[in-house]
Amino acid sequence: MPSSDYDSASLPDLLPLYYRRLFPFSQYYRWLNYGGVQKNYFQNREFSFTLKDDIYVRYQSFTTQNELEKEMQKMNPYKIDIGAVYSHRPSQHNTVKSGTFQALEKELVFDIDMTDYDDVRSCCSAADICSKCWTLMTIAIRILDRALRDDFGFQHLLWVYSGRRGVHCWVCDEAARKLSVAARSAVAEYLSLVKGGEETMKKVSLSDPIHPFIRESLLVVEQYFPRYGLQEQDILGRKESVDKHLIKELDLPLTLPSNVRKDLQQDFQNERKPEVRWKLIRDHATKKKAAGKKGHHFDKEIMLQYCYPRLDVNVSKGVNHLLKTIHAFMTTTSLSSLLTRTCSSFNLDQDAFLFPSTLKNWIDLILFAFFFLIPVKTDGITFFSLICEELDRPRIGEEEEKAEDDKDKENEKDAAERRKIRDYKRTSLAKYVKCFDQFLDGIAQSRKGELLRKSDLQKDF
């Protein structure tokens, strides 16, 4: 299908192609089955589908990969959410005794939404995002990834572009999946630093000694704040920002003495460069610290209020909370109405923190965009059309593979599965599927190691 022929009304025709030829059912099942950790683990998982015209279907569950595949190809959902593993099959929740249908396990998840930063970004608002404010997601990923690994010991973190205006993190370790509501709340609160709603001007307060976690977070924030805060958001250059951050934000007891504020306001009249103004603020903080006075962390508080991750703690606390799955379509617009996206995963070992100036860069530099397939136009190019063209393009070895399929006609199921695998391998999406496979291999290897450890402890040789 030529890219010039694309029409948004064709989406219902394209979804069946997506689910029939390119959705990673094998990897998807492998992820949510976790090696069959216990009986009925996969079949007790809740799925919900959003269909055409916003029809919402909850409490879906499936016994096997094949059953899931058939239902998704039948319903062609516009969006997929996944929830907890329950005590009973979710599809039978109305048939079990009242009070016995309980959410037992789910990945520990974190949701960082760009709209929660609207008070500290001037480039965009609401669902819009750009290269400037995407820096906030970069900072959030770096801070939280380190903390979850080093402070809590988790290993299997799946960072996922939410599809619209932020990122999700799925912590897939067995210990994380079994956490109680209280334990999830404790982790979320540990990682939360920015407190207060729209009416709260000062949302970060530090005291001595600064917690090691906050110190580690500051190391990340300090790398990005000069460019993000001073240059791209110009917080000390625009008059409304200067008034806000020197008068309202810092005019608090023990935070910035009135004489220091007056000195800064006078200095700012003589100096217009944001970098120099910021140095003046930091110099005052240093002087207060040297004098042994309290409230000398106001420079750090400003940086953290502007840049520290803002979590939706309710998403992390609830075991039965539904969250958009990876590979799920998201048909709302943002990025200045340029992109329509799917939920796709970050490769943290590569340049995962660069924001695209074109769709090609988004795919190549940020995402494991192996199923970024809803038609998107950037510079007149529809990415979905390119993938379709790749599917239809002859390649080396095509004739040999066709001959193999002819030989396998007696086993149509196996032949169909091989064709489906080759479909994504024929496109530029193949390398991203491989990355997801590597993530799943890591989970499998950990499970194998744990089984060996338990066997050794039981002396089961």
Q: Mind telling me the catalytic residues? A: 46, 111, 113
Beta bridge partners of 346: 367
Distance between CA atoms of residues 226 and 291, nearest Å: 26
Query: What tokens does 415 get?
Result: 């032949």
Distance between CA atoms of residues 230 and 233, nearest Å: 6
Shortest CA distance to 288 belongs to which of 219, 225, 208, 216?
208
Amino acid identity, residue 101? Answer: F
Residue appearing with tokens 């799920």: 328
Query: What tokens does 42 get?
Result: 């996969």
Compute the CA torsion angle 222, 228, 233, 234 (nearest 10 deg).
Answer: 60
